[in-house]
């Protein structure tokens, strides 16, 4: 199967945001919920210290456990914010580069995935891929080096997207199963 894909800035932005959410959403949700427990424990600890400072240090224990729940939230809040800012800067730079490539050719054959743009091509054998997932009408295939390749339904059409998805499913699952048996 061979397809010509044109660059679309809106589609690219959605795909990069999707990849960011896949990478950080679970951690963000976990620490978002743990902050509430941390705040409650900190408040209870402070109240116990202020009301009854000599009751076996229970107030200090609440304060300690509250801070141990709250500090990871603060750390990951700023880390995720910094990573998102880096992603936005990288997206701006990549969009300028990708606008130069009007048409990209994507070929899926029995041996490899071949991506061709402006005379240069990249060949990725199917045994280099470890997993694939379809999320929000996008096919994401990830290599052993954790490099994601993403293809949207709006780039190839719904009929071709189903064909590509089923083809990738057979190729990647076959390679994964055979490598697991070793």
The pLDDT tens digits of the residues spanning 65-97 come to 999 988 988 888 898 889 889 988 988 888 888
Q: Has domain 116-180 been given CATH number 2.40.50?
A: yes
CB 4 within 8 A of CB 116: no
Residue indicated by tokens 């998805």: 165
3-class DSSP assignment, residue 8: coil
Confidence of residue 116 (pLDDT cuts 50, 70, 90): confident
Phi, psi of 157, rounded to the nearest 5 degrees: 95, 155
Quote the CA–CA distance of 83 and 20 in Å, as a whole number.
9
Phi, psi of 56, rounded to the nearest 5 degrees: 55, 20
Which tokens belong to 81?
């914010």
More confident residue, 136 or 119: 136
CB 171 within 8 A of CB 179: no
3-class DSSP assignment, residue 181: coil
Which tokens belong to 24?
């950080």
How large a percentage of the chain has pLDDT more than 90?
Answer: 10
Domain boundaries, the chain: 2-98, 116-180
> Who's near 42: CB < 8 A, 6+ residues apart?
62, 63, 66, 67, 70
- The CA angle 10-14-17, to the nearest 5 degrees, is 140
- Kindly report the three-state secondary structure assignment for every residue of 19-39: HHHHHHHHHHHHHHHHHHHHH
What is the average pLDDT score of the chain?
84
Task: Flag whether pLDDT at 167 surpasses 60.
Answer: yes
Over residues 35-56, mean pLDDT:
85
Quote the CA–CA distance of 30 and 24 in Å, as a whole number.
10
Lowest mean pLDDT among 92-106, 132-146, 148-162: 92-106
Task: Flag whether pLDDT at 134 surpasses 70.
Answer: yes
């Amino acid at each position: 199967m061979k397809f010509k894909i044109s660059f679309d800035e809106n589609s690219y932005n959605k795909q990069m945001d999707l990849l960011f959410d896949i990478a950080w959403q679970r951690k963000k949700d976990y620490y978002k919920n743990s902050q509430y427990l941390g705040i409650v424990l900190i408040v209870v600890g402070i109240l116990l210290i202020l009301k009854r400072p000599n009751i076996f240090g229970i107030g200090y224990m609440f304060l300690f456990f509250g801070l141990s729940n709250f500090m990871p939230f603060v750390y990951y809040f700023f880390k995720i914010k910094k990573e998102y800012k880096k992603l936005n800067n990288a997206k701006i730079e990549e969009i300028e580069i990708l606008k130069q490539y009007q048409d990209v050719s994507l070929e899926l054959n029995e041996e490899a995935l071949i991506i061709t743009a402006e005379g240069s091509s990249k060949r990725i054998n199917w045994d280099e891929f470890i997993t694939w997932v379809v999320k929000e009408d996008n096919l994401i295939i990830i290599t052993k080096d954790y490099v994601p390749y993403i293809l949207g339904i709006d780039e190839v059409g719904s009929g071709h997207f189903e064909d590509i998805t089923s083809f990738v499913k057979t190729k990647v699952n076959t390679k994964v199963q055979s490598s697991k048996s070793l």
